[in-house]
């Protein structure tokens, strides 16, 4: 991992899109109410009680300067090394800091100095609030398309999260590639973002406000599937999807009939084709999912209940941080696939 740093990758330069995003989030937006649509505020899933309690300990200014379309809290995080792409004011970093504990670490990377200034300002405040002897959070200035150039080491993170940020990048394929590089084997990219019902035309993609509002850069969800496969990730597994309403007539007129969802996907860096479908039993006990683990929109595991899973999910569970949370059983005959068919990613309003 990288230490707290203000260095940026020397080989990666600002594009006009990066400059526009910096202007929008660094100068134009001063608080959440400055947003012109609700795209950046649409929750992808309800907030569990223990997460709400963790958020209560985050400083009010960090909360006020935070813009995101979901709340990213994958399971089984204690002791993990986590990277937050586009960490902004640091809300998610400080919330996750409490979940990974003093033996874990959270790194936030952002390209906007103003946002990082807010995040770093309250580092000591949060460590005192959490009762930690030394910081388990650090912030790096850099680009999500150039993680290794920003000083982040390859194969160094257990989990990467991103909250409504990938859509702001002009090179989303490179974002996935860099994320794959810095993840450990068995690691996970767990991220919430805005997706469109089809590919957006140039008129929308070139609109600065729509891009800043997380709509102009929204990826067609089918392109995510193709990019993930090309990068080496497992098939993206849909966790939740919520319809986005723009609630701004001027912007809606430009968007026309295009529809958008705030969706959370999980992608894993695991071997492909090396596991067979089998029966698994969730052992229970993961904080926040002690008796029921909602893994994705197709699989919910009840503690101590055997479930048949398909080949891909068997590989994910066996080769990721979830391996110790499951008991694996030999296949009981043919394993009926229950993965995520492309047509179910996601359900459009």
- The string of DSSP codes covering 188-246 is EEEEEEEEESSPPPHHHHT-HHHHHTTSTTPEEHHHHHHHHHHHTPPPPEEEEEEE---
Q: What is the dihedral sign for C-alpha 47, 53, 58, 59?
A: positive
139 located within any domain: yes
Mean pLDDT, rounded, for 110-116: 91
Q: How confident is the model at residue 75 (pLDDT cuts 50, 70, 90)?
A: very high
Inside any domain, residue 1: no
How large is the average pLDDT for residues 155-163?
Answer: 96
**Which residues are CB-contacts of 2 (< 8 A; sequence separation ≥ 6)?**
107, 138, 140, 150, 151, 152, 153
Q: How far apart are CA 59 and CA 55, in angstroms?
A: 9
Domain match, 254 and 293 both: no
DSSP string of 108-155?
EEES-HHHHHHHHHTHHHHHHHHT-SS--EEEEE--TT-TTTTTPPTT
Residue that is last in its domain, among 250, 269, 288: 269
pLDDT of residue 2: 44
Domain hosting 51: range is 17-269
> Computed over its alpha carbons, how large is the radius of gyration of the chain?
20
- Low-confidence winner among 24-28, 187-191, 216-220 (lowest mean pLDDT): 24-28
pLDDT tens-digit readout, 290-311 = 999 999 999 999 999 999 998 8
**105-110 and 183-196 beta bridge pairing:** unpaired
* Helix (H), strand (E) at residue 287: none
The reply to whether 82 and 204 lie within a common domain is yes
- Whether 344 is covered by a domain: the verdict is no
| Model confidence band, residue 17 (pLDDT cutoffs 50, 70, 90) | low
Which pLDDT score, from 0 to 100, does residue 69 have? Answer: 57
Asked if pLDDT for residue 33 goes beyond 60, the answer is no
Classify residue 3: in a domain, yes or no: no
Q: Assess whether pLDDT exceeds 60 at residue 26.
A: no
Q: Mean pLDDT, the chain, as a whole number?
A: 85
| Residue 10 placed within a domain | no
pLDDT at 342 over 60: no
Query: Model confidence at 274, in pLDDT bands (50, 70, 90)?
Result: low
């Amino acid at each position: 991992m990288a230490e707290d740093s203000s260095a940026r990758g020397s080989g990666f330069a600002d594009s006009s899109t990066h400059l526009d995003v910096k202007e929008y989030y660094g100068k134009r937006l001063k608080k959440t109410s400055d947003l012109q649509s609700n795209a950046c505020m649409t929750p992808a899933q309800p907030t569990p009680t223990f997460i709400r309690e963790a958020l209560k300990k985050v400083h009010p200014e960090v909360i006020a300067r935070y813009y995101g379309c979901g709340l990213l809290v994958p399971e089984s995080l204690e002791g993990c090394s986590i990277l937050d792409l586009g960490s902004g004011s640091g809300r998610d970093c400080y919330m996750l800091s409490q979940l990974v504990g003093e033996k874990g670490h959270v790194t936030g990377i952002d390209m906007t100095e103003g946002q990082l200034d807010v995040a770093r300002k309250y580092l000591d405040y949060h460590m005192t609030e959490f009762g930690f002897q030394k910081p388990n959070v650090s912030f790096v200035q850099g680009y999500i398309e150039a993680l290794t150039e920003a000083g982040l080491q390859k194969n160094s993170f257990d989990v990467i999260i991103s909250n409504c940020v990938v859509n702001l990048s002009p090179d989303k394929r490179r974002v996935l590639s860099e994320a794959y590089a810095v993840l450990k084997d068995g690691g996970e990219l767990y991220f919430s973002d805005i997706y469109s019902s089809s590919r957006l035309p140039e008129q929308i993609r070139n609109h600065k406000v729509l891009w800043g509002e997380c709509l102009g850069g929204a990826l067609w969800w089918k392109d995510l599937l193709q990019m993930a496969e090309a990068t080496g990730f497992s098939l993206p597994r849909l966790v939740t999807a919520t319809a986005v309403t723009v609630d701004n007539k001027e912007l809606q007129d430009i968007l026309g009939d295009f529809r958008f969802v705030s969706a959370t996907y999980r992608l894993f860096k695991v071997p492909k084709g090396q596991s067979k479908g089998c029966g698994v039993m969730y052992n229970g006990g993961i904080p926040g999912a002690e008796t029921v683990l909602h893994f994705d929109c197709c699989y919910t595991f009840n503690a101590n209940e055997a479930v048949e899973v398909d080949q891909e999910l068997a590989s994910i569970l066996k080769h990721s941080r979830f391996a110790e949370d499951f008991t694996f059983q030999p296949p009981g005959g043919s394993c009926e696939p229950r993965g995520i068919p492309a047509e179910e990613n996601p359900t459009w309003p």
